[in-house]
Amino acid sequence: MKAAQVLVALSLVCLGCSTPPEVKQALIAKDQGYAENQRLMEQYRELVTNVTERQHQWYRHVQTRLKLNLALQWATTNPKVTDVPEPELAKDDAELLGSEVIALINDIRLKNLPERKGPNGQVVFQSGTGDMSNLLQKLPELTGRVVQRVEKDGQASSTVDLTAFDQYRNNVGALRRINAIIKQYLDIDVTLSRDEVQPLAEAVRTLRR
């Protein structure tokens, strides 16, 4: 209901005239329409929440596999990429994996794997000293650290902004309160005092926020 419609309804109430049944029926129909809109919006809100959660679940699954594969690659091989300088590759992969995963990789790297330095000359991946038995024993811990890394990376984008839905619900609630108050007084057809109109003014102010 627009502000002009509210003012017209208030004028009818305050004049204390006999209200035509069509007006009361229109208010009822309007309230039912608001209720249906709110129901549909709540359903859409739930859908958005569920879809977003599934997207994040898929993201975590894919990222966990990618990072775990990358960690195992550094633990068991000496990775090289043709078009990427070795220091840059070590630096970029270390940033993807995080310090806690890198620390465990350095603990389980297989013997004879050379150290790999970053662009500033600092050692990123240490020379391998481990064996396959140690690597297999530490594999559950490595997986756990990778999962923690993925969860940490995904926290920033995991929150769904539902403020628009909350604002819509508040506005519809205000409109329904206005309708209910108007209908209540139209049903008894009395002239209102200034104090009695105050609840309507409060509802209109809520709608405009």
Instruction: State the maximum Cα–Cα separation within the chain, in Å, rounded to a whole number.
Output: 97
β-partners of residue 116 are: 125
What pLDDT score was predicted for residue 191? 52
CA neighbours within 13 Å on the CB side: how many for 138?
22
Q: Which residue has the tokens 């208030």?
A: 10
What average pLDDT does this structure show over 185-196? 58
* DSSP state at residue 36: H
pLDDT in tens, 131-179: 999 999 999 999 999 999 988 877 655 566 667 777 777 777 777 777 7
pTM of the model as a whole: 0.57
Beta strand segments in the chain, E: 116-117, 123-125
User: Distance (Å, rounded) from C-alpha 75 to C-alpha 59?
Assistant: 24
pLDDT in tens, 34-51: 788 888 888 877 887 777
Task: Measure Cα distances from 148 to 3, 72, 99, 101 in Å.
Answer: 53, 16, 12, 9
User: Distance (Å, rounded) from C-alpha 65 to C-alpha 94?
Assistant: 16
User: Distance (Å, rounded) from C-alpha 174 to C-alpha 205?
Assistant: 9
State which H helix or E strand residue 50 sits in: helix 21-76
User: Distance (Å, rounded) from C-alpha 189 to C-alpha 165?
Assistant: 36
